[in-house]
Amino acid sequence: MSDSATSSLSSNLDYTSKDATVAIIIIGASGDLARRKTFPSIFSLYERGFLPNSLVIYGYGRSDIQRESLHSKILPFINTHQTNESSQKVKDFLKLCYYHRGSGYNDNDAFCKMRESIERNVQNPKSIHYLFYMAIPPNLFATATQSIRTMMKSIPSNQYRCLFEKPFGSDSDSYNQLSTSLSKLLTEQQIYRIDHYLGKDVIRFIPSFRFDNTLISNIWSNENVSRVIISVKETIGLEGRGGYFDEYGIIRDVIQNHLIQIMCLIAMEKPKTNSSCKAEAIRDAKCQVLRDTKKPTLKDCIVGQYDGYLCEELVRTESRTPTYCLIKLTIDNERWQGVPFYLIAGKCLNEKLAEVDIQLKEPRLSFNTQEGLHDDEYYSMKMKIQPEKYVSLGNRNAGTTLKLFEKTRDDAYANLIHDALQGNSSSFVRDDELKLSWKLLTPLLHELESIRPLSYKQGSEGPREVQSYLHNNHNKDM
Ligand code: NDP
Ligand code: BG6
Specify the pTM.
Answer: 0.94
Confidence of residue 300 (pLDDT cuts 50, 70, 90): very high
Query: What's the gap in Å between 444 CA and the centre of ligand 2?
Result: 22
Query: What's the gap in Å between 140 CA and the centre of ligand 1?
Result: 9
User: Pick from 427, 254, 257, 226: which is nearest to 339 by CA?
Assistant: 226
Does pLDDT of 328 surpass 90? yes
Sign for the CA dihedral angle at 152, 157, 162, 166 comes to positive
**Residue from 33, 38, 64, 248 whose mutation best tests the ligand 1 pocket (most atoms within 8 A of CB):** 33
Ligand 1 touching residue 283 (CB < 6 A): no
Query: What's the gap in Å between 131 CA and the centre of ligand 2?
Result: 24
Atom of ligand 2 at shortest distance to CA of 244?
Answer: 6
Beta strand pairing call for 191-194 and 225-233: unpaired
Q: What is the mean pLDDT of the chain?
A: 91
Ligand 2 touching residue 234 (CB < 6 A): yes
Ligand nearest to the CA of 32: 1
Cβ atoms of 324 and 463 within 8 Å: the answer is yes
Q: Give the type of residue at 271.
A: P
Confidence of residue 159 (pLDDT cuts 50, 70, 90): very high
- Rounded Cα gap, residues 416 and 312, in angstroms: 33
Residue 423 zone, left/alpha/beta (φ > 0; ψ -120 to 50; rest)? left
Cβ atoms of 105 and 128 within 8 Å: the answer is no
Query: What's the gap in Å between 27 CA and the centre of ligand 1?
Result: 9
- Rounded Cα gap, residues 385 and 288, in angstroms: 24
Ligand 1 touching residue 41 (CB < 6 A): no
User: What residue's CA is closest to ligand 1, atom 40?
Assistant: 33
**Residue from 194, 253, 309, 355 whose mutation best tests the ligand 2 pocket (most atoms within 8 A of CB):** 253
The partner residues of 230 in beta bridges, in order of sequence, read 343, 356
ipTM above 0.90, yes or no: yes
Does pLDDT of 409 surpass 80? no
pLDDT given for residue 401 in this prediction: 77
Cβ atoms of 342 and 327 within 8 Å: the answer is yes
User: Pick from 260, 112, 250: which is nearest to 170 by CA?
Assistant: 250
- Longest pairwise C-alpha distance within the chain: 79
- CB-facing half-sphere around the CA of 114: CA atoms within 13 A: 31
Query: What's the gap in Å between 28 CA and the centre of ligand 1?
Result: 6
Does pLDDT of 161 surpass 70? yes
pLDDT given for residue 10 in this prediction: 42
More confident residue, 81 or 294: 294
Does pLDDT of 3 surpass 60? no
What integer is the mean pLDDT of 328-347?
Answer: 98
Terminal Cα-to-Cα distance of the chain (whole angstroms): 44
Ligand 1 touching residue 61 (CB < 6 A): yes
Ligand nearest to the CA of 236: 2
Beta strand pairing call for 301-306 and 324-330: antiparallel
What integer is the mean pLDDT of 442-468?
Answer: 95
User: Pick from 125, 159, 132, 142: which is nearest to 54 by CA?
Assistant: 125
The pLDDT tens digits for 181-233 are 999 999 999 999 999 999 999 999 999 999 998 989 999 999 999 999 999 99
pLDDT given for residue 181 in this prediction: 96
pLDDT given for residue 80 in this prediction: 73
| HEC string for 66-96 | CHHHHHHHHHHHHCCCCCHHHHHHHHHHHHC
Cβ atoms of 253 and 196 within 8 Å: the answer is no
| HEC string for the chain | CCHHHHHHHCCCCCCCCCCCEEEEEEECCCCHHHHHHHHHHHHHHHHCCCCCCEEEEEEEECCCCCHHHHHHHHHHHHCCCCCHHHHHHHHHHHHCEEEEECCCCCCHHHHHHHHHHHHHCCCCHHHEEEEEEECCCHHHHHHHHHHHHHHCCCCCHHHEEEEEECCCCCCHHHHHHHHHHHHCCCCHHHEEEECHHHHCHHHHHHHHHHHCCHHHHCCCCCCCEEEEEEEEECCCCCCCCHHHHHHHHHHHHHHHHHHHHHHHHHHCCCCCCCCCCHHHHHHHHHHHHHHHECCCCHHHEEEEEECCHHHCCCCCCCCCCCCEEEEEEEECCCCCCCCEEEEEEECCECCCEEEEEEEECCCCCCCCCCCCCCHHHCCEEEEEEECCCEEEEECCCCEEEEECCCCCCCCHHHHHHHHHHHCCCCCCCCHHHHHHHHHHHHHHHHHHCCCCCEEECCCECCCHHHHHHHHHHHHHHC
Ligand nearest to the CA of 255: 2
What integer is the mean pLDDT of 314-327?
Answer: 96
Ligand 1 touching residue 292 (CB < 6 A): no
Query: What's the gap in Å between 89 CA and the centre of ligand 1?
Result: 28
Confidence of residue 6 (pLDDT cuts 50, 70, 90): very low
pLDDT given for residue 378 in this prediction: 77
Q: Give the type of residue at 13.
A: L
Ligand nearest to the CA of 250: 2
What integer is the mean pLDDT of 340-362?
Answer: 96
Lowest mean pLDDT among 227-236, 362-371, 381-390, 391-400: 362-371
Ligand 2 touching residue 165 (CB < 6 A): no
Ligand 2 touching residue 253 (CB < 6 A): yes
145 Cβ neighbours under 8 A, 6+ residues apart: 134, 162, 182, 185, 186
User: What residue's CA is closest to ligand 2, atom 13?
Assistant: 197
User: What residue's CA is closest to ligand 2, atom 9?
Assistant: 254
The pLDDT tens digits for 13-68 are 888 888 889 999 999 999 999 999 999 999 999 999 999 999 999 999 999 999 99
- Rounded Cα gap, residues 183 and 180, in angstroms: 5
* Catalytic positions: 258
Lowest mean pLDDT among 18-22, 160-164, 258-262, 320-324: 18-22
User: What residue's CA is closest to ligand 2, atom 14?
Assistant: 197
Ligand 1 touching residue 63 (CB < 6 A): yes
pLDDT given for residue 8 in this prediction: 34
pLDDT given for residue 275 in this prediction: 67
User: Pick from 357, 398, 377, 368: which is nearest to 475 by CA?
Assistant: 377
pLDDT given for residue 363 in this prediction: 72
Query: What's the gap in Å between 177 CA and the centre of ligand 2?
Result: 25
pLDDT given for residue 470 in this prediction: 86
**Residue from 32, 37, 166, 248 whose mutation best tests the ligand 1 pocket (most atoms within 8 A of CB):** 32
Does pLDDT of 370 surpass 60? no
What integer is the mean pLDDT of 75-80?
Answer: 84
